């Protein structure tokens, strides 16, 4: 048995194909002038060459930019040379006009006409000297200005404040008739802490409306209350509203604020009356170093702990600016509790 094969021919064909491929690559390199025409030729070399090619093209464009700038300057220089020559001629005419042999009505009038014409020519040169439609000598050419928005750690924002509202809810009492004292603590418009005692009497069979009526009358009789709050009543509910809103109002501060209600406090000596005290929440959402708050006669000043030049003025209480609004707010609340002695915040 005899097996016929053409392995030699196949091997020759394979080698011929390899040689043809290599010949094609060599011809491509010769025709393009580049040793590396694709990543398959030399991946690392291609990466390096592309980086260098980018640098070369950037330098070539920078050179072109410099040449454009030189052309612009040369154009401006030409206009300035003409202007300089005109100024020299105007000075020459001024010196010539000082000659005592000239007549004012004839000679100096003609000299002045030439000076006026030269002035007009200077204006024309200044307004018409251009490069690529850019005026060069009319005063409009200046350093280009670019603006960009930068994210700041904190900004100052004014938020309109509302009037503080305080409610007192009365209920019926089954106790015997007695004299009662209603104690009210507040901060007035000057930032001073005030504590007032309101004396009033309730009957054993008084209804909630009757108790509220008597307490309302007692509140309105106190000048400290009426100078800071408007006292109104609706049924068994008495409302105390700050007379002034905003930064000048009682318990109102220059910041973002929301109203909440604290736990109701029982009125001293009266089982039939309770009080709910509305409060202001101070939110340090937008502060920068040097910003100040005046609360209850004390000044709180914000400073940047990362800035060595940021200092707190003598007599002020320092509050560190946090990384965000929540951090600044927490630092302010801590200072109010520790340094200001304000617990209900």
DSSP structure string for 62-78: HHHHHHHHHHHHHHHHH
Mean pLDDT of the chain: 76
Examine the domain organization and report whether 78 and 161 are in the same domain.
Answer: no
Supply φ then ψ for residue 114, to 5 degrees: -65, -40
* pLDDT tens, residue by residue, 296-329: 678 888 888 888 777 888 888 888 887 777 788 8
In a domain, 145, yes or no: no
Q: Which residues contact 339 (CB under 8 A, 6 or more apart)?
A: 298, 300, 317
In a domain, 17, yes or no: yes
Of 246, 231, 259, the residue nearest 168 (C-alpha) = 231
Examine the domain organization and report whether 242 and 270 are in the same domain.
Answer: yes
Name, of 55-64, 259-268, 315-324, 330-339, the range with top average pLDDT. 55-64
Mean pLDDT of all residues in 192-213: 78
Q: Which residues contact 178 (CB under 8 A, 6 or more apart)?
A: 201, 202, 269, 270
> Quick one: pLDDT at residue 90?
96
Examine the domain organization and report whether 218 and 312 are in the same domain.
Answer: no
In this structure, what token pair is assigned to residue 90?
């105007």
* Cα 172 to Cα 189: distance, rounded to the nearest angstrom: 34
CATH number at residue 272: 2.60.40
Examine the domain organization and report whether 63 and 126 are in the same domain.
Answer: yes
Examine the domain organization and report whether 247 and 312 are in the same domain.
Answer: no
Examine the domain organization and report whether 278 and 288 are in the same domain.
Answer: no
Helix (H, G, I), strand (E, B) or coil at 320: strand
> Quick one: pLDDT at residue 258?
33
CATH number at residue 62: 1.20.1330.10
C-alpha 100: how far from chain center: 68
Examine the domain organization and report whether 107 and 164 are in the same domain.
Answer: no
Q: What range does the domain containing 28 cover?
A: 7-41
Q: Is the pTM of this model over 0.85?
A: no
* Cα 14 to Cα 122: distance, rounded to the nearest angstrom: 83
In a domain, 110, yes or no: yes
> Quick one: pLDDT at residue 155?
42
Number of domains observed in the structure of the chain: 4
In this structure, what token pair is assigned to residue 323?
């990384």
């Amino acid at each position: 048995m005899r097996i016929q094969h053409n392995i030699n021919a196949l091997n020759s064909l394979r080698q011929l194909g390899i040689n043809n491929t290599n010949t094609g690559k060599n011809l491509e390199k010769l025709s393009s002038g580049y040793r590396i025409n694709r990543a398959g030729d030399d991946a690392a070399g291609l990466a390096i060459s592309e980086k260098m090619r980018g640098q070369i093209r950037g330098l070539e464009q920078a050179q072109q930019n410099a040449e454009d700038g030189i052309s612009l300057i040369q154009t401006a220089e030409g206009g300035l040379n003409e202007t300089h020559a005109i100024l020299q001629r105007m000075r020459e005419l001024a010196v010539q006009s000082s000659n005592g042999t000239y007549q004012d009505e004839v000679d100096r009038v003609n000299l002045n006409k030439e000076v006026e014409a030269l002035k007009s020519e200077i204006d024309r040169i200044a307004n018409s000297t251009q490069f690529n439609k850019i005026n060069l000598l009319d005063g409009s050419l200046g350093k280009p200005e670019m603006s960009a928005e930068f994210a700041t750690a904190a900004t100052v924002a004014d938020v309109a404040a509302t009037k503080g509202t305080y409610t007192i809810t009365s209920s019926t009492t089954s106790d015997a008739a007695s004299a009662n004292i209603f104690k009210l603590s507040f901060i007035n418009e000057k930032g001073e802490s005030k504590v007032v005692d309101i004396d009033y009497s309730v009957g054993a069979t008084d209804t909630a409306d009757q108790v509220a009526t008597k307490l309302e009358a007692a509140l309105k009789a106190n000048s400290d209350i009426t100078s800071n709050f408007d006292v109104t009543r609706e049924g068994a509910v008495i409302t105390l509203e700050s007379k002034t809103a905003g930064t000048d109002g009682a318990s109102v501060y220059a910041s973002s604020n929301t109203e909440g209600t604290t736990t109701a406090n029982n009125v001293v000596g009266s089982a039939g009356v309770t009080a709910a005290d509305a409060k202001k929440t101070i939110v340090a959402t937008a502060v920068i170093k040097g910003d100040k708050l005046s609360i209850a006669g004390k000044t709180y000043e914000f400073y940047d702990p990362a800035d060595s030049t940021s200092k707190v003025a003598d007599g002020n209480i320092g509050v560190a600016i946090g990384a965000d609004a929540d951090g600044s707010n927490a630092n302010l609340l801590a200072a109010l509790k520790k340094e200001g002695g304000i617990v209900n915040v």
